[in-house]
Structure 1
Amino acid sequence: MAATTYFTPASLKLMREFARNNNREWFTANKARWEAVVRDPFLHLIGDLATPLAKISKHYRADPRPHGGSMFRIYRDTRFANDKTPYKTWLGARLAHERAKQVPAPSFYMHVQPGDSFVGGGLWHPEPPTLNRVREFLVDNPAAWKKAVHNARFRTAFTIGGDSLTRPPRGYDAQHELIDDIKRKDFAAWRGIDDKVVCSSELRDAVVDGFKGVAPMLDYLCAALDLEF
């Protein structure tokens, strides 16, 4: 596939403008511009990820539909939020497991936002039953987890983050070799993508390389949840 440039400096400029004017009046007046230089290029990128993603795992999907696909909807759920701004002014896409609508599953993820774009994946805010399954799997299979994410290459390339408990969860050995991981409430890793790369023909390859790099973590999480990878 020939290299494609999806975003331009004008795309990021418009995203910054949107962030300063997160209201219905601005968005209604600029919706056509937003779709042309921000949303549609992102959907194009998602579509172009389908083939390389299938080579990483045939059980994951890149769905470029504007509604109901991989891309996050633009509207924020403000019902219980202090921040009542109506829109997400960034772009996010969850490239989900084929069974994600039936059972909890880890996902690949990419995010485009001026000064804060990144690629990665994992489990974000899993429900307690899912979280417990992962913790129990860590206890029983520590070597595979260490091989997947505790090696120097992974830790150099990715930030492993999210929320964690301050104390070991009840019933787990505080002296377990993976206790810091067992305390995690999220199992996700990511690495940043510079704005210059976002606006270049290198973006697709950077995302694919990020997916390849985080794949061992997703493979392990799939095993913990009895999913194929």
Structure 2
Amino acid sequence: MSAIKRKLILIMLSPSSLKFLKELQKNNNKPWFDEHKAQYQEAKADYESLVQQIIDGLSRQDEDIQGLQVKDCTFRIYKDVRFSKDKSPYKTNMGAAFAKGGKKSPYAGYYFHFEPGGKSFAAGGLWMPDAPILKKTRQEIDYNFAEFQDIISQKEFIRAFGKVDGDALKTVPQGYSADNPALAYLKLKSLTVSKSFTDEVCTQPALTREILKTFAVMHPFLAFLNRAFD
């Protein structure tokens, strides 16, 4: 086993990062955050180290991830509260999206969310895509439904994610019939899968390995969705 591979297996998140986010949940205000800015910077650096390890590992599994940098994937902790009833200024989680072109890309991609209280998860797919992309994705599923079914029916896939999820239309999408065998998926406005991670798992040495294993199971699903872009 190479030194790089050993490092990937051993990366985890620090309990101090978990503690910072727990305390932020109780003290979501600017004075407290400013007073604990040093702890935030440590937690941010800790999470970014994990993100870099994920990029390194994913790049070997999925060529679309090659060339991404940490800043291309991570989200700011500062919330945009202009249109929100909740005016608390900070997110109480850390997140990173890995997709062709980075976090703002329209492509289906991977996501890792770190939040205390057993709310961490690895996820992926298409989240509320624009109408033209959703239309192409529905067409891809309709044309190649047997292949799509085969991907999401694999034992590993079901064991990891259960099923493909997302908000669904109440009516049949335009251009399709009510007896279409793929209708349950054609009605979805998002097509996503996810797997939860406990706080304990997030602070164990095998975290990066577990995330990459989860993303490897997810990859055929994402590759299928991204064919709609071609």
Q: Shared fold (TM-score greater than 0.5)? A: yes
Question: In the alignment, what sits opposite 2:33?
Answer: 27
Question: In the alignment, what sits opposite 2:56?
Answer: 51
CA distance in 2, matches of 1:50, 1:5: 13
Superposed displacement of residue 153, structure 1:
2.7
Q: Is the 8 A contact 1:164 1:183 kept in 2?
A: yes
Question: In the alignment, what sits opposite 2:212?
Answer: 208
With over 3 angstroms needed to count, the CA separation of the structure-2 counterparts of 1:166 and 1:155, relative to structure 1, is farther
**Structure 1 position 88 matched with structure 2 position 94:** no
Deviations 1:13-39 (A, max 9, x none): 221110111111111111111111x21
Q: TM-score with structure 2 length normalisation?
A: 0.90
Question: In the alignment, what sits opposite 1:199?
Answer: 203
- Secondary structure of 1:78's counterpart equals coil
**Structure 1 position 7 matched with structure 2 position 13:** yes
Superposed displacement of residue 120, structure 1:
2.0
Q: Which amino acid aligns with 1:153?
A: E
Q: Is the 8 A contact 1:99 1:105 kept in 2?
A: no
Q: TM-score with structure 1 length normalisation?
A: 0.90
**Which of the pair is proportionally richer in helix?**
2
Superposed displacement of residue 10, structure 1:
2.7
With over 3 angstroms needed to count, the CA separation of the structure-2 counterparts of 1:223 and 1:100, relative to structure 1, is farther
Gapped regions of structure 2 (runs ≥ 5): 1-5
Deviations 1:62-120 (A, max 9, x none): 4223xxx211111112121111111111010001213876x621111101111111112
Question: In the alignment, what sits opposite 1:135?
Answer: 138
Question: In the alignment, what sits opposite 1:186?
Answer: 190
**Structure 1 position 40 matched with structure 2 position 28:** no
**Structure 1 position 224 matched with structure 2 position 228:** yes
CA distance in 1, matches of 2:193, 2:121: 10
